[in-house]
Amino acid sequence: MKNRSQNPCYHLQAILAFCNLMINNAKHFPPTLESVTAYDEQISEHVKVRVYQPCDPASRAKALALCLFIHGGGWVTGSLDTEDHFCRDICGRGVMVVVSMLYRKFPAVRFPQNTEDCVEGVLWADKHATTLGADPTRFLMMGGSAGGGLAVSTTHFLIEFHPTVPPLAGLLPINSAHIHPEGCPKGYKHLYTAYADNAGPIPFVTDEMSRGVFHIMDGEPPYDDVRKHWVPVSMGVEGVRGFPRTWLLNSGKECFRDDGRVLEALLEESGVPVKRELVEGLPHYCFAFPLGGNVVQDFRARVLGGVKWCLEG
């Protein structure tokens, strides 16, 4: 029997199911502030962005910080709509411009074309900072899950290959997938136990699913001198050299938990200010689901605290 994952129709159905799930989940979240405007712009053949701006005249009187946001979806799905609610929330409550970037995904591309798309979005935002009402010296890079992995690799690409772009003020990877389970740098493997600790049918994203997307994206080690840039944390301290202040968030019950732990250790060794928060007992991307209690509110308060911490540097 043919593998369903190789069937284009099955692939499209899975993409639509994920996007609809994320969009419908947001209907159960607290309402966002109304004082936010948003518009879409196709900035190139392959890259589209959604720009969120506070519409309060007082907040628009000066250049604002700008958050470059990269959505999740395992590098195979997700859209500008799947985390629209979150982007509106951090734009309004954080009083900053947000540029959410839509990048190409599998099967259209593999690594590093998706990273290159995100770099293109950053270059566009830098070029149009004045029009956007943003301060190019206060750009933040943020992403969740696979988008967090792209936030890490995009930051590395900017430093290595686009040195004329002003340095980022901060990096905020959330539940970020940026290490293949066999690609942890030497000397840090004792910190990397989450794939074993959280193996099996844990909620939402399993270790098997993670390995699978790395495989189809051609992101498995070993890495040569070109491919190592696609997953810069695999390079050790060399891969994070020059990184900005970094705020990390991980959940305790996710296989990516120690992706953050290793990145934190590398940044500390390289002298980069870093702060990591760990939410114990909850699964990957728990804030995207209408769970009981104050999970969503707590997550968003943590993110805004991380934004403030990065901009204080």
What tokens does 271 get?
A: 């002298």
CB 208 within 8 A of CB 263: no
pLDDT, residue 4, reads 41
Residues spanned by the domain of 194: 4-312
Quick: pLDDT tens for 207-261. 999 999 999 999 999 999 999 999 999 999 999 999 999 999 999 999 999 999 9
> Does 8 score more than 60 pLDDT?
no
Q: How far apart are CA 54 and CA 219, in angstroms?
A: 38
Quick: pLDDT tens for 254-289. 999 999 999 999 999 999 999 999 999 999 998 888
Q: How far apart are CA 52 and CA 40, in angstroms?
A: 9
Residues 6+ apart with CB under 8 A from 305: none
**Pairing assessment for the beta strands 97-102 and 48-54 based on DSSP bridges:** antiparallel
Least Cα distance to 121 among 175, 46, 229 occurs for 46
Specify the higher pLDDT residue, 283 or 30: 283
Backbone angles phi, psi at 143, to 5 degrees: -160, 155
What tokens does 76 get?
A: 């195979």
From start to end of 153-300, where are the E strands?
170-174, 246-253, 274-283
Q: How far apart are CA 131 and CA 125, in angstroms?
A: 9
- Mean pLDDT for 188-197 is 97
CATH of the domain at 114: 3.40.50.1820
Task: Give the total number of structural domains in the chain.
Answer: 1
Quick: pLDDT tens for 111-135. 999 999 999 999 999 999 999 999 9
Model pTM score: 0.94
Least Cα distance to 302 among 272, 273, 278 occurs for 278
Compute the radius of gyration of the chain from its Cα atoms. 18
pLDDT, residue 18, reads 83
Mean pLDDT of the chain: 93
The arrangement of strands across the sheet holding 170-174 comes to: 36-42, 48-54, 97-102, 64-70, 134-144, 170-174, 246-253, 274-283
pLDDT, residue 100, reads 98
